Structure 1
Amino acid sequence: MSGLHLLDYAVIAAYFIVVLTLGKIAAKGATTGEGFFLAGRKLGKVSQFFLNFGNSAAASDAVSTASVVYQQGISGIWLGFQMIFLNPYYWFMYPWYRRVRLTTTADIFKDRLGSSGLSVFYATFTIISAVAVTMAFGNLVSYKISSALVTKTETSWSPAERASVEDYRELMTMEGLSKKNELPATERDRLGVLRERQARGELRNFITALEPWSFYLIYTITIGAYIVMGGMAATALNEAFQGVLIIVFSVILIPAGIAAVGSWDELGRVLPAEAFQLFGTGSGTSQFTVWTISAIFLATLMQAHAMPGNMSIASSAKNEFAARFGAVSGTFGKRLVTITWAFCGLIAMALYSGANTLADADMVWGTMSRQLLGPGLLGLMFAGIIASNMSTIAAKAMSVSALFAHNIYKGFRPQATDRNLVTAGRWTLVVVLLVGVVVSTQMTNVYTVLQFAMTINVPFGASLLLMFIWRRVTVAAVWTAVLGSAFLNIIFPLVAEKIPALANNSYLTTRTSDSVGRPTAVFFESVVRVNPEDNASALEGRGRLHTELLVLQSIGVDTVALSSSGRLAGRFFVDALLPLALIILVSLFTRAPSRERIDQFFGKMKTPVGATPELEAAAMDETVRHPGRFNQTKLLSTNSSWEFTRWDRVDTLGFLISCAVTLGIIGLLWALLQAVAP
């Protein structure tokens, strides 16, 4: 093996010792349900900041941002950076999850609509998606980076591994000649064969020495140990420590990378001008035009309401100001480190182009770390990457644990004690973390999984948004939107490649060409030759079938003629708007919950959280008796079915400050690009 020094192993070992010690310290307060799942609702502004920062700033975001920027230029930053426009909205959204005064997001469906079925379905669906997408995705990214840090020496390659690397080098040489129109005609068939093998993931530019199962098990056991011991309190305590490591790992590559390139001026000279354009045009390699960014933002806005971590994090705050401050400040911290991740992607463009192009763009971060960082620093990077993903996975795992204990286990055992729920929650953590390991081994492409993760909860998110602001939402409407969207966005797209009539359909396997003449799939995630050695063999679709494009095609949009950025935007627009439209339409023709239930819910949502337990209990007792006592704060008439409320001084100042910081961070990114760009 090459890559890690003895000093690196010492740093990694020290990291594991610290996180386990912090978990042990927090364990003494995790004996009750509220103490284990919500840290006793006692976390202040600082703890809330680190919880939100650690939960949002995952290494998967660093890898995906650097990877997409490496492939498409700085405009690729918008895959995650578009969420900066959500920060002012978080100032209003997070108090909802504190004022609702529940334990899990699933509880809202029962409290607001009176539907135990929806509550259990949301809990089950979210547990499965959190394990199969979010947590397994974090595991995959940790392995992707780590596998690039620990590699085999060339002398230890097997014949198959050597052939994979040598064929990849041959492909890069041919691609360079093809771009210059210097590739001999006799070599074009060979280029086609190598492109097909590359599309299948058969080519590599290095061979890792890290065995995935061993890595996943050690990594997962560590996460499980500290959160099983201390619950949400241990998660919050570790987030503070891990948050510092996240900042460190986000910046240490930049000085080393600039030194390797030569200077900032050299970076601007080496890269093409379009690499520094914040918005793509849709005609080049970048998919991130203004339309694409708007579509992704809309889907993100919808999905944000259904993320299970919102409830567990916000409900752990000692008051609603701590919840909203932590949400906004913590995610602003994430936006700042996103800029550093994007610049790592630009540096990678300068270092790994032409014959040095990486076979797997997801390996950008790990490859740069291995080649640019010295002993000790490489171990620190390793620890930082693990810390950032552990912090995110820990928060997600706690949410899943609470969902199972409160919304599934308690349903089968209504008489379960508080102690029983904590025990069930701890065992849930063990199971979901181990299942996440199994699913991780089946994943390959970070960018593909990330796109899926950005839309999977949109139907529930749209439902929750309307449930918070519109009295007319009905149980039937939510079921229609959730099941209809799940079929369109999840079930059918994933099984389509298993149906030969679809996978081999001549229309669905349509391919166009990108700006440099490489074949690009339209409807499937990828389209390859059945026989990669025969450039005339039949085509077959692989991966996700983009059914959103078929919906657009059915209403007259020529999706084949669209650019790749146009197709991406179209997919996100359909994912975001379809469930919203279904809920509104069906709600107008179906029966709403009882007036008393709706009045009690919105009365509670207008009642500020009390400064002390005694004041809180008194305020809620008064609201139960007079649920309409705050109706004068409604923005529209008191009889309106829309529950928008007037802003107070804190609302207004917080929103304006959030907007100012948002513009300031975007301005900082623009200024940095202007300083570096040619």
Structure 2
Amino acid sequence: MNGLPLADLFVLFLYLAGITWLGVRMGKGIQKQSDFFMPRRFGKSMMMMHAFGTGTASDQAVVVASGTFRHGLSGIWYQWLWLFNTPFYWLIAPIFRRFRATTTADVYALRFGSSVAVLFSIVGIIGLAVKIGLLLKGAGALVESGTQGMVSASFAVPVVAVLFVAYGMAGGLGAAIVTDYIQGILTVLFSVMLLPWTLSAVGGLSGVRETLNDPSMLSMVAPEGVTPFFIATFAVLSLVGIVAQPFIMGVCGAGRTEMDGRFGFVAGNLIKRICTAAWAVTGIAALAWYMQEGADLTSIDPDQV
């Protein structure tokens, strides 16, 4: 059968409708402005999955698997570039919690004045618009690949956009945190679910090594592009930039206590590092499988592997 069975499509529809309903339902509990923008009532598990969900998008798994398929295991650094910053999150989170601000722009307004806050807001809107565009593009590619073309990317992108805008506007940050919790659990499961079968199909890691027969494909550092200097430079720049992200206040400050935000920020990002490793190994195993099957690699779109 070409495409997904009707049962799978029904489950996909049920998931999208359920997430949207849950987010909209969260809006009924909003009684004041702070409930919408900064509800400081979530515990460690919620904050952990919120940090994981905020820092993880559908396009990232595609980018890592695609990069690994093209360049080998060094493709993992497309998302592991933030790896060395993770310990600093333990220190950053309580600082933002103590600001008692609603948004990051509020902090800039207090420290530098309204003009800097407005500039930050404009830059943030532009940056997030690009990020959301990439997220939607990745989601579209994922849906089209997963449904074997039955649901096209051009159809999936506007549908996903309408759904997350609907529950975001209805439930605010609280809706995002609750839906991140559910979607985060599913993301972790889906990140590792395919890996055992993929490795089994190619004879495990030893089968991957024998099939590729190229040590550079199994190297964590590529001879070109993703070099040690590139990794170190990006780590420093991203550490400076993480505190200026528009979403950082919600990730650090929506917990009940400083420890909730601190634990959530660090643990959520550590979970992402583990999932990134799973994406990379899946990508390299997929490359080995195609080679074992004698496929023409030039005709394969790595984004749909």
Q: Give the TM-score normalised by structure 2.
A: 0.92
Q: Does 1:30 align with 2:30?
A: yes
What is residue 308 of structure 1 aligned with on the other side? 246
What is residue 68 of structure 2 aligned with on the other side? 69
- Structure 2, unmatched stretches of 5+, are none
Residue type matched to 1:142 in 2? A
- 1:29–1:36 Cα contact (<8 Å) kept: no
In the TM superposition, what are the counterparts of 1:459-608 in structure 2 within 5 Å?
Answer: none
- 2:80–2:276 Cα contact (<8 Å) kept: yes
What is residue 5 of structure 1 aligned with on the other side? 5
What's the CA shift for 1:246?
A: 0.2
Q: Quote the RMSD (CA, aligned, Å).
A: 1.9
**Which is bigger in relative contact order (C-alpha 8 A, separation at least 6)?**
2
Question: What secondary structure, in the 3-state scheme, does the structure 2 residue paired with 1:352 have?
Answer: helix
Quote the Cα distance in structure 2 between the aligned partners of 1:47 and 1:17: 21
Q: Does 1:147 align with 2:144?
A: yes
What is residue 98 of structure 1 aligned with on the other side? 97
Q: Does 1:235 align with 2:173?
A: no
Deviations 1:445-497 (A, max 9, x none): xxxxxxxxxxxxxxxxxxxxxxxxxxxxxxxxxxxxxxxxxxxxxxxxxxxxx
In the TM superposition, what are the counterparts of 1:91-490 in structure 2 within 5 Å?
Answer: 91-113=90-112, 115-131=113-129, 133-151=130-148, 208=149, 210-271=151-212, 272-282=214-224, 287-353=225-291, 355-364=296-305
What's the CA shift for 1:324?
A: 1.0
Quote the Cα distance in structure 1 between the aligned partners of 2:72 and 2:200: 20
What's the CA shift for 1:240?
A: 1.4
Quote the Cα distance in structure 1 between the aligned partners of 2:288 and 2:234: 28
Residue type matched to 1:119 in 2? A
Deviations 1:372-398 (A, max 9, x none): xxxxxxxxxxxxxxxxxxxxxxxxxxx
Quote the Cα distance in structure 1 between the aligned partners of 2:296 and 2:17: 42
Quote the Cα distance in structure 2 between the aligned partners of 1:255 and 1:357: 26
- 2:140–2:154 Cα contact (<8 Å) kept: no
What's the CA shift for 1:76?
A: 1.8
What percent of counterpart residues are identical? 30
- 2:140–2:152 Cα contact (<8 Å) kept: no
- 1:352–1:358 Cα contact (<8 Å) kept: no
Residue type matched to 1:139 in 2? L
CA pair 29-11 structure 1, distance change in 2 beyond 3 A: same
Residue type matched to 1:279 in 2? V
Residue type matched to 1:339 in 2? A
Question: What secondary structure, in the 3-state scheme, does the structure 1 residue paired with 2:197 have?
Answer: helix
What's the CA shift for 1:24?
A: 3.7
- 1:98–1:315 Cα contact (<8 Å) kept: yes
What's the CA shift for 1:308?
A: 0.9
- 2:27–2:170 Cα contact (<8 Å) kept: yes
Residue type matched to 2:274 in 1? L
What's the CA shift for 1:128?
A: 2.0
Structure having the larger proportion of residues in helix:
2
Residue type matched to 1:277 in 2? S
CA pair 24-130 structure 1, distance change in 2 beyond 3 A: closer
Quote the Cα distance in structure 1 between the aligned partners of 2:3 and 2:297: 19
- 1:143–1:216 Cα contact (<8 Å) kept: yes
Question: What secondary structure, in the 3-state scheme, does the structure 2 residue paired with 1:257 have?
Answer: helix
Quote the Cα distance in structure 2 between the aligned partners of 1:235 and 1:358: 39
| Structure 1 moving runs of 4+ over 6 Å | none
CA pair 116-337 structure 1, distance change in 2 beyond 3 A: same
Deviates more, 1:338-347 or 1:224-233: 224-233
What is residue 18 of structure 1 aligned with on the other side? 18
Quote the Cα distance in structure 1 between the aligned partners of 2:120 and 2:204: 51
- 1:38–1:313 Cα contact (<8 Å) kept: no
- 2:59–2:138 Cα contact (<8 Å) kept: yes
- 1:26–1:229 Cα contact (<8 Å) kept: yes
Q: Give the TM-score normalised by structure 1.
A: 0.43
Question: What secondary structure, in the 3-state scheme, does the structure 2 residue paired with 1:49 have?
Answer: helix
Residue type matched to 2:219 in 1? Q
- 2:58–2:142 Cα contact (<8 Å) kept: no
- 1:66–1:342 Cα contact (<8 Å) kept: yes
